[in-house]
Structures are given as structure tokens and as C-alpha cells.
Homo-oligomer: A and B are copies of this chain.
Amino acid sequence: MTAFRLSMATRLRQTPFTHRVETSGVTAYSVYNHMLLPSVFRSLEEDYWHLRSAVQLWDVSAERQVEIDGPDAFPLIQLTTPRDLSRMQNDQCCYIPVVDDHGRLQNDPVLVRLGATRFRASLADSDLLLFYKGLASGLGMDVSVFEPDVSPLAVQGPLANELVRNVFGEDTVRLRYFRHRRVSVAGTNMVISRSGWSRQGGFEIYVEGSENGEPLWDLLFEAGHDLDIRAGCPNYIERISGGLLSYGNDMTDEHTPFEAGLAKFCNLETPLCLGHRALVEQQEPSRMIRPIEILGEPVPEIRDRWMVADEKGNPAGSISSTVWSPEFKTNVAIGMVDRHANLPGSRIVVHAPDGEREAVIRDAFWL
């Protein structure tokens, strides 16, 4: 694996936690929504085992926030997603596939409802703010769309409950999955939800005001001392093993929610969104995202989609994410595979940079 340096510039925005992240020993970054997203501290593998056993603080500020306020906030958001949001509560978070007129995915944020006419979306890696702005402007909607000074900080791992109990108290630990509440610590207000981009459990804290980032980081680190708390980040091994899809990697604006396995978030009984008509026609996708095991030695680093073929050697899709799992002793992978070759148990051939690899479609992810 050749290592390339990331050239820094103000355009690749730092976060309120960047100084702490670097003091904590980050060694590699990704760039996500024009912002630095930590990707490795000690090593992917060492970070993985720690995440599976203790508690980590993650600087996920790069899940940039878009706030949508005003009388037309709800109609604007509903217009962009096939998920029926009519019963969304004021203390609820919802994962929403966002589609364009053609039913193609533009992002898949977690939407946080803060009130009847006030929402925040935690974005995947595309400037969805521009889509909302364009639509609202074109439709002359009475709504304000902007990026607030809010930065998500995740607390993830099996000991997350203990840490959060120590700092925020029992009421916060009792939060149900994808519910949030407003808390105050040392005079600072923030929203905290039970959510996060791992299968290890935990919380996301939406820190309001960049100047409050470092004090909160320090307070959590102090409170987690006996829990072996460490700085961490979304872990590539853990998220593939757990089947957490990544917009831009596993699905892009070329794919429909059905291809991405997101049918359960598509309510097509009545026309809710711009892409309704297109989605109605796309319900039987010719390809779908699948958990895939790539057999043999550890795969090399994946940098672009690896083509796959069916048993007869015909093109059958591609692999988008894969890595060696030290826990499952195999290569865990996510791919988009054509219908005729994507049933669990099907054998496919992966054209990896180091040669052809045998692989098997699985019926479920590992975690």
C-alpha cells in the first residue's frame, strides 16, 4: 500500500475537536463534506479491538449539519424523501434516504426533529444544503436553510452507557434508540441521541458552539479514565462487518434506494416526494447491495470499485468496500450485485488488483 500525504488547507476544514484528535495521535484522515474526518489512530485493527471492548470518543463533525427552520420546513424535507415523516416526534431521529426527481440517492442523513417546524440533518458526504436551498428557492418556500455551528461528537463502544451515565445521568442512558433529549453540562446546552455509526452502541452529542468542543472533550475524557476511553473514529473494519452503508462508497447518486436495500424507508402508497413516480417504477431492482465474503488472503486496499463476475464469467456488479477482519478471519465486503447472481450462497469472482478472487454472497453481515 502506497501512502500519500494529505495536503492541508483552510478549504479542508478543521473541527472544534481537531487539536484534541491530533494530540490523541490520529495518523490518517479522510475528507468528508470538505472537513477532516479522522480514520486511523493506532492501526485499523488495534482501533477495532478497542472499539469492540471499551469506549471511544469520535470527532464526527464532518457529518455536517443543515438546519431547516420555518413554516415550510416539514414540506421541504418530505419532498426530498420517500420515508413518511408524518408521525415523526419532536424527540426523534430518522434515517432518511434523500432522492432527486429520478429517484436516485443524493444523501442519506439522519434527520433530527427539534420542534414542529425545526429540523437538523446530519449529512453523509454531499452538499445537500445546496439541494434544499435550490428547491426552497425554486418553490418560493417560507423556510430558512443554513449550516448551524453544531458539531457532532460520538461516544461509541460497549462502555458508552457507563460513560454517559457518569456525565449526563440515568435519564440520558434510558434514551431509546434514535431518540434524543436536551442536556446541559457545565453551563453548555447540547442535544444527545442514542445513535452512532457503529454496531457497538452509543450516543451522538450535537455540540452547540465550536468554543464548547474542547471543554466537553476534556470532561468526557476525564470521566472515562477508568473505562479505558480513547479517541477513535468510524472504523472501516467494524462498519463493513456490521453492514453500515456509506454514501459515496456503497451507493452513489447512480443508485436507487431499492438497489441500496432501503425499501423499508420508501412509503409509496401516496406521492410524498419528488421522486415518487420514478420510485414506483424502480421497486424491482436489477441489482442490490449484498454482504459478501471474499475468500483467501487479506485483500489489498480498495480504491475504486472492483468488478465482479458470475460463475459463467459474465459481468455481475462490483465490490465497493472490503477489508480483512481480524475477528472473523476473512475479508468482509459490501458490493452491488446483479439479481441473477446475488442470492445468498451464490459464488462470484472478484477482479481484485492482485488477481481473481473467489467470493460468496452471504445472507447477513457479521455483526
Tell me the A residues contacting B by CB distance below 8 Å.
Answer: 2-14, 22, 26-31, 34, 39-40, 100-101, 106, 125-128, 130-139, 236, 246-249, 274, 301-305, 320-321
Contacting A249 at CB < 8 Å: which of B9, B27, B31, B139?
B9
* Additional A-B contact list (14), CB under 8 Å, known A4-B28, A10-B321: A4-B26, A5-B6, A6-B31, A10-B248, A11-B30, A11-B249, A13-B304, A14-B304, A100-B133, A106-B130, A130-B134, A131-B131, A135-B135, A135-B137
Across the interface, which residues of B come within 8 angstroms of A128, CB to CB? 130
Across the interface, which residues of B come within 8 angstroms of A132, CB to CB? 134
Contacting A11 at CB < 8 Å: which of B100, B106, B125?
B125
Q: Which residue of B lies closest to A247 (CB)?
A: B11
Q: Which residue of B lies closest to A6 (CB)?
A: B6
Q: A222 CA to B247 CA in the complex, in Å? A: 39
A7–B30 touching, CB < 8 Å: yes
The 8 closest A-B pairs by CB, nearest first: A138-B138, A134-B134, A11-B248, A31-B31, A7-B39, A127-B127, A134-B135, A6-B6
Across the interface, which residues of B come within 8 angstroms of A274, CB to CB? 137
Q: A2 CA to B127 CA in the complex, in Å? A: 29
Q: A139 CA to B140 CA in the complex, in Å? A: 9
Across the interface, which residues of B come within 8 angstroms of A248, CB to CB? 10-11, 34
Across the interface, which residues of B come within 8 angstroms of A127, CB to CB? 126-127, 130
A10–B305 touching, CB < 8 Å: yes
In the complex with contacts A28-B4, A31-B31, A127-B127, A10-B134 CB distance below 8 A = no
A10–B135 touching, CB < 8 Å: no
Q: A5 CA to B101 CA in the complex, in Å? A: 38
Q: A305 CA to B12 CA in the complex, in Å? A: 11
The residue in A29, A127, A134, A321 that gathers the most chain B C-beta atoms within 10 A of its C-beta is A134
Contacting A320 at CB < 8 Å: which of B8, B10, B34, B125?
B10
Nearest-neighbour CB distance to chain B for A1, whole angstroms, equals 8
Nearest-neighbour CB distance to chain B for A124, whole angstroms, equals 9
Nearest-neighbour CB distance to chain B for A64, whole angstroms, equals 12
Across the interface, which residues of B come within 8 angstroms of A29, CB to CB? 4-7
A–B complex contacts, Cβ < 8 Å, 9 sampled: A2-B22, A3-B5, A4-B26, A7-B39, A10-B303, A10-B321, A131-B131, A132-B134, A135-B137
A7–B137 touching, CB < 8 Å: no
Across the interface, which residues of B come within 8 angstroms of A131, CB to CB? 130-131, 133-134
Contacting A31 at CB < 8 Å: which of B12, B14, B133?
B12
B22–A9 touching, CB < 8 Å: no
Q: A304 CA to B12 CA in the complex, in Å? A: 9
A137–B100 touching, CB < 8 Å: yes
Q: A137 CA to B125 CA in the complex, in Å? A: 22
Contacting A5 at CB < 8 Å: which of B9, B12, B13, B40?
B40
Across the interface, which residues of B come within 8 angstroms of A22, CB to CB? 2
Contacting A10 at CB < 8 Å: which of B6, B7, B106, B249?
B249
Q: A13 CA to B26 CA in the complex, in Å? A: 23
Nearest-neighbour CB distance to chain B for A34, whole angstroms, equals 6
Q: A140 CA to B303 CA in the complex, in Å? A: 38
Q: A22 CA to B2 CA in the complex, in Å? A: 10
